[in-house]
Amino acid sequence: MILRDPVHGVVSFEGENGRVLPRLIDTVEMQRLRRVRALGVASMAFPGAEHSRFAHAIGAAQVMARFLARVEPLAAAMGSPLSAVDHDDALAAALLHDLGHGPLSHLFEEVFPGMHAHELWTSAAILDPDTEVHRALAAAEPEMPSRVERLVHGVHPMPLLARAVSGMLDVDRCDYLLRDSHMTGTRYGLFDLDWLLRSLALEHDDRGPRLAVEGSKGLPAVEGFFLARLFMYQQVYFHKATRAAESVLRSTFRRLADLVADGRVPAGTPEPIAMLARGERISTQAYLSLDDNALWRAVDAWRDDRDDTLAGLAERCGRRDLFKTASLDDIDPELDASIQQELEAIVEAHGYDPRYFAALDVAEVMPFEAPRIPEEGLRVVHAHRPAQALEHASFIIARIADTSFVRRRLVFPAAVREAVTEMLEAQRPGR
Amino acid sequence: MILRDPVHGVVSFEGENGRVLPRLIDTVEMQRLRRVRALGVASMAFPGAEHSRFAHAIGAAQVMARFLARVEPLAAAMGSPLSAVDHDDALAAALLHDLGHGPLSHLFEEVFPGMHAHELWTSAAILDPDTEVHRALAAAEPEMPSRVERLVHGVHPMPLLARAVSGMLDVDRCDYLLRDSHMTGTRYGLFDLDWLLRSLALEHDDRGPRLAVEGSKGLPAVEGFFLARLFMYQQVYFHKATRAAESVLRSTFRRLADLVADGRVPAGTPEPIAMLARGERISTQAYLSLDDNALWRAVDAWRDDRDDTLAGLAERCGRRDLFKTASLDDIDPELDASIQQELEAIVEAHGYDPRYFAALDVAEVMPFEAPRIPEEGLRVVHAHRPAQALEHASFIIARIADTSFVRRRLVFPAAVREAVTEMLEAQRPGR
Amino acid sequence: MILRDPVHGVVSFEGENGRVLPRLIDTVEMQRLRRVRALGVASMAFPGAEHSRFAHAIGAAQVMARFLARVEPLAAAMGSPLSAVDHDDALAAALLHDLGHGPLSHLFEEVFPGMHAHELWTSAAILDPDTEVHRALAAAEPEMPSRVERLVHGVHPMPLLARAVSGMLDVDRCDYLLRDSHMTGTRYGLFDLDWLLRSLALEHDDRGPRLAVEGSKGLPAVEGFFLARLFMYQQVYFHKATRAAESVLRSTFRRLADLVADGRVPAGTPEPIAMLARGERISTQAYLSLDDNALWRAVDAWRDDRDDTLAGLAERCGRRDLFKTASLDDIDPELDASIQQELEAIVEAHGYDPRYFAALDVAEVMPFEAPRIPEEGLRVVHAHRPAQALEHASFIIARIADTSFVRRRLVFPAAVREAVTEMLEAQRPGR
Amino acid sequence: MILRDPVHGVVSFEGENGRVLPRLIDTVEMQRLRRVRALGVASMAFPGAEHSRFAHAIGAAQVMARFLARVEPLAAAMGSPLSAVDHDDALAAALLHDLGHGPLSHLFEEVFPGMHAHELWTSAAILDPDTEVHRALAAAEPEMPSRVERLVHGVHPMPLLARAVSGMLDVDRCDYLLRDSHMTGTRYGLFDLDWLLRSLALEHDDRGPRLAVEGSKGLPAVEGFFLARLFMYQQVYFHKATRAAESVLRSTFRRLADLVADGRVPAGTPEPIAMLARGERISTQAYLSLDDNALWRAVDAWRDDRDDTLAGLAERCGRRDLFKTASLDDIDPELDASIQQELEAIVEAHGYDPRYFAALDVAEVMPFEAPRIPEEGLRVVHAHRPAQALEHASFIIARIADTSFVRRRLVFPAAVREAVTEMLEAQRPGR
């Protein structure tokens, strides 16, 4: 199986990398990910970002294949070789790490809070004996489904592999930073993967070889990775248009949930959505029937609903008529609560229901979180002197470690823009 | 309106380029193109190629904006300035040129031969007073819809603009070669657009300024463009997996059409599809309700149909279980007909219906077609000597002009591979 | 004049950009810069980095041309248009900013401390009526040489232009970060120049329009620029092999100077070098006769000198037999002086003269220095809220502002490596 | 030894690739190539193209390392493994293939026709027991110098390796097309090396494994390679400014040779040049003392010579005051001789010596030459059908095979441009 990919170029799953991947890729559960966009509604803001979680999953598996090619000889030289079983498990876990992802990015999980997080659905899809993915894994080896399921969640006897699947510098992040950067047309996520892989090293540890990076050459590649992550949050994931689009869609689903709770299921609502809105449990199969297409079809149907709020919000989704935002970044966070109340009053005065048309949106990410147990962190090794923790070795990482990047915004309909601007003007220290 | 794009980087429709484009982009008819993939089923073969006709339309408009920025000062200097009306018409035509495109690329039109070609649906969508696109154009200026509709089809008083919208080197091709190349991860379509635009020149003509290219510097950029086109046909559009995927889908639709003709509409068939299959006329609105999602949903539903052939073909689509191909490129074309008969016999002997499971697939393209009226071609201008036709000035174009690139293949289920290979072996000159 | 460049692609100095640049480029003083490598001895460490200050000067002029194209309409709209004189002065200053640069990068100036800094030689070369550069400028306009000379040093009535020629974000830095990054094959200097230029804005100020950046989109481009600078210092300019190469060459020149001071000029020493070593003044013409070729030829000749130290050092230069380095980054700086003494003792014990074969090498740069007068800094402007200083608006700049990045190293011959490693081991806190 | 390179990124000569290369790279003969620019005077036309033959040699060795990594497992699987000796010989030959290259590109050889071609000087430098290269090779293994010398010229028991060092698709061409393209800033030489290497295959042959290419995927990469070659000749090597610069320099050297033949050696002429001009033999050491610096220094000295013709030509070289050219491409080649006579008359009438100031410049290259012995060509292998010769398998190669690309031009001083244009106008068929 040889593929070409806009991010990684040639992707080949042959030889030792071809033992399980091709069969897994052709399962219906993996193919479903073709219909789940990686960036959810962000493609409203970045029209080129139409790539799916399927392409991302292939990319993550490719990064894992390259990671293994780099690390296996080092581990063998250290007397702790990876087995063929480890190799296959790692590739499968990289490919399947997002298997249970719901439509419309993380938004979907937030809206129906009784629902499982997508990580649990991934487990369910791997462990459920009725899925094709389960059968493909079990056909390779009966214990493989349970091993891969644990590895997806970062549990594995070799910390090296566990962290490569789910860690601060894992194959998931490696692929999505590059891919989202490439496809949005921003260039800020384009860290130097080639050099990063090449500068990986291993350090001895009680529990086996542990991932490290060669100091003299690898430091800027690792720094580049964490800065790329910060930049992508700043520029894409926390972009005002992305957040505004998410806000409209979130309000739409909230209104739907409220209507269902009140006893009416608007026409066009897929049965699994109705069940989730009622807080009922749904089967793995029912969950996996949901994809972006199903959701957008439902939103489309709701444009004709007799509830004006639902219809209006659905209409906004369809026409890309997003909410507006106003930054609170230069305003004292202590004022947030009172400002939010003022916003709700303004919105209500203009005839909108503040439950759905006014929000304080706080987006927060920590670009580098120093590990609580130092041994879990990334170490930097040197030729003629002792190894150091990354956050000590790096000038730039030391300066951002354990600090959150935060964006605070008000979200509201365009019609109240002027009133909101005036209200905020009054909050700013005199000038 | 500023967008970022994986192909063109920063795309800004502001100032003179912002007069009509933003409003057009937000119409429901344009937004529908987000749900029509540019490469149709080719994304089965090239998983990264998930981009939509919407992204392509934006790209074509961006190329047009750059084309106008290059050409307008030249035209003005020649005493034939483009008006603001021309400018807006050109941008609108570039954006809307694919407005009526059906789902699943060109395949959709072939299958229901009574149907309009997508070009006619584009006209319909522009001229129909009920579409948002029509209203947006007419709001700018009452005659704009009819002017833009003609320009989309290459009809305009200024040959310069007509050819830029629909010609051998038009903005449509410029964008799709770059975009398809980029997204498939093949690099063969990446001609040098910057340099091509920069080396455009104008030549005087009875009918006004005519597009030409500066010889000393522009030749390789133009050559690169036509070679990129050849390469993309070789590598992507005529790729065996692309053609095999198209073949499976074509058979699925044929079977559906045959069933409908026999009086039964399989469950899950969208009404407009059923009407098309019966050869009935459908409205513009009904046509525009069709997108990739609608088609894939129907195919999905047909997997449970009681007709085994339809269900089996739909199942193949869903599982990416494509047909196989065998090249006939080293076999005398005169044998094609008899070879096709042999294939049908083999297929039938294995229990398949040859109407749907055997095909002779001939793909043909002319990488450079010398214009019949020499004046319509692209001229190469020089500083100290007379201009020449491109096909005379270029070493490489001269050698491929008016020659077709052809790929002939047999298409069949995997189960008959061995029998087909043996049959073809017998046809080859003795070795 | 149209050129192609590995960094900027097409470079065209035509129309308003063609009034003075082509004539300046063809002067002997500019052509001399073809024989002065931009990175000096760093090409010993980065073999691809063979580019000259000539290519960099062209690049800086090209960045200025793009800067002017962006900024001129903004300034005009603000009622403070740039004149044609300003335009030409800015381009000339960008091109000529390094005119007086000596061979072998900044090293040359350090070695002969009585000598002018290269900035003064640039002034001399512009103001000296006998240079072709002077004549070309004066031919355009009699006052142009003196205006351009002042502008090269950041003195101009419009702060906007002054800062673009010599400021924290000037065309010199813009080009050399990109070019050095590109040519060394490291990718860390590749900030997004296109986007940076596009997000430039102007703010009103008493002294005219002042450079600013649009906050919602330009912040990451500006951040990327300052991070690129930090990375290039970390990876290239402060690279241990670069510093080791510089150290060998510095010792060679020191030995030469000491011999000349003792009354003997080794054979092969160019006369201007001998004069500089004696602390005598040299003419502009004599100075400009020095280039990399002249220096390397001299070093080559010294390999046969009767002074063993000079001959040995020159031999090391010729054979790329560089000194070794040991990092002191994890050792308390208070110990530096005593460690240096220990190093000198080790080196001497091995038979080397510590004046030339032992050094404490401290490299230091401030990636972002907040301006002392806030008005001189870069401002970030927002749509609906007040402007901010860059160091307040940016999460990452705020964290590195006014902090120095430092690399401390010992430099010594390979033969004493083991002894040095042991000595340092003893200094480290117990482990 | 790990290097970074603007073309290949990370270049590492470690492990099996580190056995001989690092020692060879540090020899004085290899380091001399840092002072020989790869493109000779073309950097007058393409100012970024300042790269040296040293960087190219490193690049060719890197391509060979990648070639071996691809081909060795295939050869082993075919039962004809490459030995460690073969591996080292191949890397050494790739690195050293240009060792004897003279300054100023191929021009230097043309001017002194009695001189050896650079290929013979390469042999001399490898075989001469006094060179450091010889000693480094012989230290590895006594027979290595003679084996590597033969391999440099394409003589080796394994045709596979012979052709990789010197063949239609060899590592020399692979590197220089990419490097020259990259550094000139034209993009036409940027074929897809990754994909090309990946699609290499081996075919069985009486004399061992023979290089082939996998048809279904490798064809466009190979086509791209040969087209890149054609484009680079069109755009760079045969560029009018390149040819004009070469013409001026050629005339300068001719005049020098004529003066020496008449008994006077102009001041500043390096002794080896004087000997070559007198047709005397020079030693390998003397030859290797010549580099670009030495030649430019001589040209510089000649600007003050008492012979006006030599001084004037040298002045033109120094000031980049090149000859002008006029294309003859649209004129019947039968007229060339008479046109040349007319040019000489015009030049003479303007007071120039036509021996040095008028030339008919014919540049010719065959982009693809079909091998005379079919077995020596490149074969294209297919999965289910017989292999074919490249020129049969490829649509585009078939159309350019065995056809020469030719550029015919007149070369003359700028002062006669008008007279030449008029003269040529009269030759063109009536219009």
Confidence at residue A313, expressed as pLDDT on a 0 to 100 scale: 96
- CB contact, 8 Å: C70 with chain B? no
How close is the nearest chain C Cα to the Cα of A232, in Å?
A: 10
CA-based R_g, chain C, Å:
23
In a domain, C37, yes or no: yes
Question: What is the three-class DSSP state of D412?
Answer: strand
pLDDT of residue D430: 60
Pairing of strands D388-389, B324-327: unpaired
CB within 8 Å: B194 and C10:
yes
> Distance (Å, rounded) from C-alpha D106 to C-alpha D95?
19
- Which residue, D291, D295, D312, is CA-closest to D303? D312
Per DSSP, the three-state class of C359 is strand
The domain spanning residue D295 has which CATH number? 1.20.1250.30
**Which tokens sit at D315?**
């002045």
Chain B residue with CA closest to D233: the answer is: B220
Amino acid (1-letter code) at residue B190: L
For residue A300, which amino acid is it? Answer: D
Nearest chain B residue to D425, by CA: B385
CB B245 within 8 A of CB B42: yes
D6: enclosing H helix or E strand? none
* The pLDDT of residue A430: 59
Question: What is d(CA D169, CA A294) in angstroms, rounded to the nearest whole number?
Answer: 52
User: Are B255 and B346 in the same domain?
Assistant: yes
Instruction: Give the distance from CA B182 to its chain's centroid.
Output: 16
Tens digits of residue pLDDT in A145-157: 999 999 999 999 8
3-state secondary structure of B268: coil
Q: Does D306 touch chain B (CB under 8 A)?
A: no
Residue A353 in tokens: 């229901």
Q: Which residues of A touch C234 (CB under 8 A)?
A: 219-220, 395
What is the CB neighbour count within 10 angstroms for residue C12?
A: 14
Could you tell me if B383 lies within 8 Å of chain C, comparing CB atoms? no
pLDDT tens profile A346-404: 999 999 999 999 999 999 999 999 988 777 788 999 988 888 999 999 999 999 999 99
* Eight-state DSSP code of residue C209: -
Cβ burial, residue A265 (10 Å; 0-12/13-18/19+): middle
Residue A406 token pair: 């935060």
Pairwise CA distance, residues A63 & A66, whole Å? 5
CA distance D80 to D90: 16
Q: What is the pLDDT of residue C36?
A: 93
Contact A364, A405 (CB under 8 A): yes
Confidence of residue A283 (pLDDT cuts 50, 70, 90): very high
Candidate from A28, A31, A320 with C-beta closest to B26: A320
Is residue B26 in some structural domain?
Answer: yes
**Do residues D37 and D53 make contact, with C-beta atoms less than 8 angstroms apart?**
yes
Residue from C194, C395, C400, C402 to probe the interface with A (highest A Cβ count within 10 Å): C395
Closest CA to D94 of D167, D171, D5, D3: D171
- Residue A426 near chain C (CB below 8 Å): no
Neighbors of chain A by Cβ distance (3+ pairs < 8 Å): B, C, D
C183: phi then psi, degrees, rounded to nearest 5: -80, -30
The pLDDT, as a whole number, for residue D431 is 46
Residues of A whose CB is below 8 A from B6:
6, 48, 182-185
Length of chain B in terms of residues written: 431
Residue A430 included in any domain: no
pLDDT of residue D371: 87
- Together in a domain, D58 and D129: yes
φ/ψ of C364, rounded to 5, equals -145, 135
- pLDDT, one tens digit per residue, over C115-147 is 777 788 999 999 999 999 999 999 999 999 999
B231 reaches D (C-beta below 8 A): yes
Which residue type, as a one-letter code, is found at position D269? T
Task: Give SS3 for A203.
Answer: strand
The pLDDT value given to residue B431: 47
> Would you tell me which residues 168-197 of chain D have a C-beta closer than 8 angstroms to some C-beta of chain C?
182-186
Is D194 in contact with A2 (Cβ distance < 8 A)? no
- Three-state DSSP class for D303? coil
Is B108 in the same domain as B21? yes
A217 close contact with D: CB closer than 8 A:
yes
Q: Which residues pair with C10 in a beta bridge?
A: C4
Mean model confidence pLDDT for chain A? 91
Q: Which amino acid is at B35?
A: R
Give chains near D: 3+ CB pairs under 8 A.
A, B, C
Residues of chain C falling short of pLDDT 70: 105, 113-114, 430-431
d(CA A308, CA A238): 30
D118 occurs within a structural domain: yes
Rounded to a whole number of angstroms, the distance from the CA of B285 to the nearest CA of chain C is: 39
* C402 part of a folded domain: no
Looking at chain C, the number of H-run helices and the number of E-run strands are 23, 9
Written as one string, the DSSP assignment of D91-135 is HHHHHHTTTTPPSTTTHHHHHSTTSPPHHHHHHHHHH-TTSHHHH
**Most A-contacting residue of C192, C232, C329, C332 (CB-CB within 10 A), to test interface:** C329
C385 contact D CB<8A = no
Domain boundary among B190, B207, B238: B238
Helix (H) or strand (E) holding C392: helix C390-393
Within this chain, do residues B82 and B12 fall inside the same structural domain, yes or no? Answer: yes
Residue B337's Cβ-count burial label (10 Å; 0-12, 13-18, 19+) is exposed
**Which residues, listed in sequence order, are joined to residue C360 by a DSSP beta bridge?**
C410
The complex's ipTM works out to: 0.88
Contact at 8 Å (CB) between B164 and B170? yes
In this structure, are B205 and B324 located in the same domain? no
Distances (CA, A) of C375 to B56, B256, C347, C372: 45, 73, 51, 9
Condensed to tens digits (0 to 9), the pLDDT of residues A241-254 reads 899 999 999 999 99
Same domain, C67 and C103: yes
One-letter amino acid at D386 equals: P
Residue C68 is assigned to a structural domain of this protein: yes
- Pick the last residue of a domain from C214, C238, C262: C238
- Same domain for B210 and B252, yes or no, is no
Other beta carbons less than 10 A from residue B424's beta carbon? 21
Q: Among D2, D9, D198, select the one facing A194 at the smallest CB separation.
A: D9
Clarify whether residues B195 and B292 are in a common domain.
no
When divided into structural domains, chain B yields a total of 2
Domain boundary among C281, C306, C321: C321
Dist CA B212 CA C370 (whole Å) = 52
Max Cα-Cα span within chain B? 74
- Pairing outcome for strands D359-365 and C2-5: unpaired
In whole angstroms, what is the distance from residue C178 CA to residue C224 CA?
Answer: 12
DSSP count for chain B of H helices, then E strands: 23, 9
The neighbouring-strand residues paired with B169 are none
Closest-CA distance, A10 to chain D, in angstroms, reads 8
Shortest distance between the Cα of D81 and any Cα of chain A, in A, equals: 20
Is A26 part of a structural domain of the chain? yes
A50 in reach of chain B (CB within 8 A): yes
Q: Which residues of chain B have pLDDT under 50?
A: 431
What global pTM score does this model have? 0.91
For residues A6 and B184, is the Cβ–Cβ distance under 8 A?
Answer: yes
The 3-state DSSP class for residue D364 equals strand
Question: Is the Cβ pair B217, C2 closer than 8 Å?
Answer: yes
Can you tell me the distance from the alpha carbon of C293 to that of C296, in angstroms, rounded to the nearest whole number?
A: 5
C396 in reach of chain A (CB within 8 A):
yes
Which positions in chain D touch C5 (Cβ < 8 Å)? 47-48, 185
> Scanning every residue of chain D, which has its alpha carbon at the shortest distance from the alpha carbon of C291?
D293
Determine whether the interchain pair D318/C185 forms a contact, defined as Cβ–Cβ distance below 8 Å. no
**Helices D53-77 and D171-184: angle between axes, nearest 10 degrees:** 140
Local structure of C54: helix, strand or coil = helix
Distant-in-sequence, close-in-space partners of C204: CB < 8 Å, separation ≥ 6: C78, C210
Spans of chain D below 70 pLDDT: 105, 113-114, 430-431
B320·A26 Cβ contact <8 A: yes
CATH number of the domain within which D91 lies: 1.10.3210.10
In-domain check, residue D364 = no
| Interchain CB contacts (distance < 8 Å): B and D | 73
Instruction: Indicate if A52 and A86 belong to the same structural domain.
Output: yes
Give the gap in angstroms from C-alpha D242 to the nearest C-alpha of chain B.
13
Q: Which residues contact B280 (CB under 8 A, 6 or more apart)?
A: none
Helix axes A118-127, A132-140, angle to 10 degrees: 60
The answer to whether D383 contacts chain A (CB < 8 Å) is no
Which residue range is the domain that position C278 belongs to? 241-321
Check whether residue C96 and residue C10 sit in a common domain. Answer: yes
CB of A84 within 8 Å of a chain B CB? The answer is no
Same-domain check for residues B28 and B99: yes
Nearest chain D residue to A10, by CA: D195
Tell me, yes or no, whether C176 and C317 share the same domain. no
Q: Which residues contact C328 (CB under 8 A, 6 or more apart)?
A: C336, C339, C360, C408, C409, C410, C424
* Dist CA C50 CA D215 (whole Å): 39
In this prediction, residue A431 carries a pLDDT of 46
Within 13 A of C318's CA, how many CA atoms are on the CB side? Answer: 19
Best B3, B4, B23, B135 member to test A by mutation, with max A CBs in 10 Å, is B4
